[in-house]
């Protein structure tokens, strides 16, 4: 599965020149990293509903692998889950 050319237009509220401002103040530019972040967040919201800022869940590895294959990192390295 590859990222379509019109993917940014499918996400309501995102412009082609947009960047994502995380609640912790870190800004992610409009790249595959931003799309991975949005995909992880939307998957968690779909599966568990709104969890709040401090609640974290481990996503299924099959979903994480699919998201990483769809929106690969330029460097090939990923952060992974950070337990609290």
63-78 pLDDT, tens per residue? 999 999 999 998 888 9
Q: Compute the average pLDDT of residues 22-48.
A: 82
CA dihedral angle for residue 55, residue 46, residue 44, residue 13, rounded to 10 degrees: -100
Q: Is the pLDDT of residue 41 over 50?
A: yes
Q: Is the pLDDT of residue 62 over 80?
A: yes
Cβ contacts of 57 within 8 Å, gap of 6 or more = 44, 47, 48, 51
**What percent of the chain has pLDDT above 90?**
39
Please give the pLDDT value at position 13.
45
Q: Compute the average pLDDT of residues 25-47.
A: 85
Domain boundaries, the chain: 18-70
């Amino acid at each position: 599965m590859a990222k379509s050319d019109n993917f940014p237009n499918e996400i309501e509220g995102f412009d082609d020149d947009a960047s994502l401002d995380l609640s912790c103040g870190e800004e992610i530019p409009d790249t595959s990293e931003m799309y991975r972040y949005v995909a992880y967040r939307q998957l968690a919201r779909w599966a568990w509903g709104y969890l709040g800022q401090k609640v974290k869940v481990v996503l299924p590895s099959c979903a994480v692998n699919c998201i990483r294959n769809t929106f690969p990192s330029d460097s090939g390295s990923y952060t992974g889950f950070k337990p609290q």
